[in-house]
Amino acid sequence: MFKLALPRSAIAGAGGAAIPLLERLGLRAASGVGEAGWGRTALAGVVSFLYFFPVLWIILTAFKSYDDVLAVPAKFFFTPTLDNFRQVFSRAYSVQGQVQDTGFALFFFNSIVIATVSVAVALVLGTFAAFGFSRYPLKGNDTYLFIILSTRMLPAIVVIIPIFLMFRITGLAGTYLGIIALYTTFNLPFTIWMMKSFFDELSPDVEDAARIDGSSDARVFFKICLPQVVAGLAATAVFGLILTWNEFLFALLLSGVETRTVPVAMAQTIGGDIGVRWGLLAAIETLFLVPVIIVTFALQNQLLRGVTFGTIKR
């Protein structure tokens, strides 16, 4: 309390005056109507920490040895080990004397490749389309956009049956090409909506000036518009990566044994008969998590736009 009181009294100047209680607690700041002090930080800290706790526990579990994971009562303090992480990638784990490769290296590879390629292709196609929707509105623009968004909002289950059949008939099931094509199609609506919202924000004056100076449409697009939305491209790409990476249902049904992605492999690990290797799972999830957390921090400003698929900005 002493530390909290100190800044307040410094500001209050001629000392000894009554300081309102909320300010003393740091819940409301001395100056201004929209600010709060360290008291608010403490409260928010407690709430945030509690909210984050399940995630924190996962990260902790990833560093626990096999026995620590199963310990009851739960251990908060333990000696960390990197065993789980090693097992994820190549080394063996021994189950009743048997040495097996978890194979997750392959699954990580699959996830990375599939996600990257599909996001990249969607980004290219989608950005062009978004530019078209934004700068050259067609008759029925809204209808097209609506249809595009609907495909993204549909329950996966609605789309999966025909696509599953289609994949079976065309022999795409279990192939890289098939699942990449599918994910590209999934990322397209999101990319289009996001990039369109970014293009809509650009002022057309600069483009008009360039046109008057004789630039062709292509030049205007590449040299003027695109550099301005680089941040948008990055945000869209990252969101797309996260969404694709996390996708489960389609991967479950459409990827083959060799082309399995990490989420599917994780689910299968849970249902395994060996007994769930929680430590291993935790390690896998932590490997997912850390880039996601970093990215969430980097993209804080675009988060709202990203999670609403570009339909809402500030």
Question: Of 105-134, which residues contact other proteins (CB under 8 A)?
Answer: 125-126, 128-129, 131-133
Task: Report the nearest approach of other proteins to the CB of residue 190 (Å).
Answer: 12
Burial class (CB in 10 A: 0-12, 13-18, 19+), 245: buried
Q: Looking at residues 153 to 172 of the shown chain, list those that interact with other proteins (rule: CB under 8 A).
A: 153-166, 168-170
Beta-bridge partner residues of 99: 94
Helix axes 2-12, 38-62, angle to 10 degrees: 150
Least Å distance, CB 47 to other proteins, is 6
Q: Could you tell me the two tokens for 181?
A: 């094509």
Closest by Cα among 195, 191, 206 to 229? 195
- Taking the C-alpha atoms of residue 227 and residue 213, their distance in angstroms, rounded to an integer, is 19
Residues 53-72 that bind other proteins (CB under 8 A): 54-55, 57-58, 61, 69-72
Residue with the two structure tokens 């209808």: 143
Residues linked to residue 101 through DSSP beta bridges, in sequence order: 92
Q: What part of residues 212-251 is at the interface with other proteins (CB under 8 A)?
A: 217, 242, 245-249
The helix/strand/coil state of 92 is: strand
Applying the rule CB under 8 A, the residues between 256 and 275 that interact with other proteins are: 263-264, 266-267, 270
From the list 1, 2, 17, 227, which residue makes contact with other proteins (rule: CB under 8 A)? 17
- Total binding residues toward other proteins, as defined by CB under 8 A: 113
Least spacing, CB of residue 137 vs other proteins, in Å: 7
Among 18, 21, 99, 257, binds other proteins (CB under 8 A): 18
26, 90, 179, 185, 241 from 152: Cα distances, Å: 45, 37, 16, 9, 15
Minimum CB distance to other proteins, residue 142 (Å): 8
Nearer CB in complex with other proteins: 92/293: 293
| SS3 state of residue 17 | coil
Q: Could you say whether residue 202 binds other proteins (CB under 8 A)?
A: no
Could you tell me the smallest distance in angstroms from the CB atom of residue 91 to other proteins? 22
Pick the binder of other proteins from 51, 100, 109, 209 (CB under 8 A). Answer: 51
